[in-house]
Amino acid sequence: MARRPSTLPALLLALVFGLAACGQVDEAASTAADLETTTDIEGPTERVEVPKVEREGVWQPTPGGTQVRLWPADVPLLKPDTGDQPEATGNGSPTVGGRMWHWASYVTRPTMTIYRPKGHNTGAAMLVLPGGGFYAVATDLEGTEICDWVVQQGMTCVMLKYRTPQVWPRENGRQRRPDVLLGLEDAQRAMGLLREQAGANGIDPHKIGVIGFSAGAYLVTNMSNTDERTYPPTDAADRQSPRPDFAIVAYTARVLDTSKGRNELELAPSVTISPNAPPTLIIHAMNDPVDDVREPMAYALALNDAGVPVDMRLYAKGGHAFGMRPTTDPITREWPGQVESWLRSIGML
């Protein structure tokens, strides 16, 4: 395996769950073997540390998924912090819902993986942005397992594997958002492609939304509030609007100005709010030890002040990065139903 830059060596192997979740090269086999993704069986709430294993190889979709490159191979792209290091996959720690979760990283050529709806096609589609702290991309816990549920609702599901890692620089002891956010470029490109190719994929171009988890949720907040792209247009897809028609934000961070008082709930200077942001649903646990509940509260209040329809579903327990794996914590079992009801209420289902 190629050598890693010294600044990132164990950042991925030692990636703890507090940074969010992450996917693996033979994820289909792993899922079938001992990581059954049924959502009706409760797993333990306790999280157990397990050995972390990494191996070189390009992530492959679970059965039913079609992986598509976002850009033609000859289009130059900015590289993640690891440069041309070959893509790798691995598992993180601790477990969630009694099962391991997996990640992909060193992603230089981003992709989207399309899963077709089961049964009746409503025409709606959901772009899924997994978490991973911008170190990696969650491909099962916050990716394919979400798509398993989405397609059952009669929606097309599209999981984004975006460029990582991209470590945020620190200034005066605080993280600073990069001027060019690679994951945002990839998400905007995917949204443009989905709209441009909507007819071929059985999608209503006015019913394409997005759901994001942790770092992916931060990307959702960015997608929702800007039409500007930081990359040069490649084709007709980049003339489509990159803004989603609805947005779901699960345990987000990086939006609160932490230099202010504890309960001032002001947004970070880099966060902008647009009155054109789509209807938004926010999901969060009050006891999240990684992303304080004040983060989504500040974002919700700012959206509301701008006249954007926003709903919140807050639960006492659930912690961080629970995905769609049911445990004894009610949020882990109830939030999918909350999403379905909300989508119906805004006319997407």
Q: Work out the pLDDT band at 343, boundaries 50, 70, 90.
A: very high
- For the ranges 14-23, 89-98, 107-116, 132-141, which has the lowest average pLDDT? 14-23
Question: Reading across the β-sheet that carries 111-115, which strands appear in turn?
Answer: 65-69, 111-115, 156-161, 125-129, 208-213, 247-250, 280-285, 310-315
What is the predicted pLDDT for the residue at 13? 41
Return the number of other C-beta atoms located less than 10 Å from residue 121's C-beta.
17
- Across the chain, mean pLDDT equals 89
Q: Is it true that the peptide bond before 178 is cis, omega within 30 degrees of 0? A: no
Q: What is the mean pLDDT of residues 119-125?
A: 96
Tell me if 210 sits within 8 A of 262, measured CB to CB: no
Q: Is 204 exposed, middle or buried (0-12, 13-18, 19+ CB in 10 A)?
A: middle
Using DSSP's 3-state secondary structure scheme, residue 209 falls into strand
Per-residue pLDDT reduced to its tens digit, 246-289: 999 999 989 999 999 888 999 999 999 999 999 999 999 999 99
Q: Which residues contact 133 (CB under 8 A, 6 or more apart)?
A: 15, 19, 20, 214, 215
- % of the chain surpassing 90 pLDDT: 79
Q: What domains sit in the chain, N to C, each tagged with a CATH number?
A: 65-78+109-345 (3.40.50.1820)
Question: Reading across the β-sheet that carries 88-91, which strands appear in turn?
Answer: 54-56, 88-91, 102-105, 137-138
The DSSP call for residue 338 is: H
What sign has the CA pseudo-torsion 177, 180, 182, 185? positive
Facing residues of 314 across strands?
284
pLDDT over 60 at 313, yes or no: yes
What is the predicted pLDDT for the residue at 346? 98
What sign has the CA pseudo-torsion 214, 219, 223, 225? positive
What is the predicted pLDDT for the residue at 24? 30
Which tokens hold the place of 74? 């000859």
Tell me if 25 sits within 8 A of 57, measured CB to CB: yes
Q: Work out the pLDDT band at 5, boundaries 50, 70, 90.
A: very low
Facing residues of 256 across strands?
267
Q: Amino acid identity of 304?
A: N
Per-residue pLDDT reduced to its tens digit, 130-167: 999 999 999 999 999 999 999 999 999 999 999 999 99
Give the predicted TM-score (pTM) of the model. Answer: 0.90
Q: Work out the pLDDT band at 45, boundaries 50, 70, 90.
A: confident
- 143 vs 23: CA distance, rounded Å: 8
What is the predicted pLDDT for the residue at 42? 79
Tell me if 319 sits within 8 A of 287, measured CB to CB: yes
In 3D space, the residue among 70, 63, 35 whose CA is nearest the CA of residue 50 turns out to be: 35
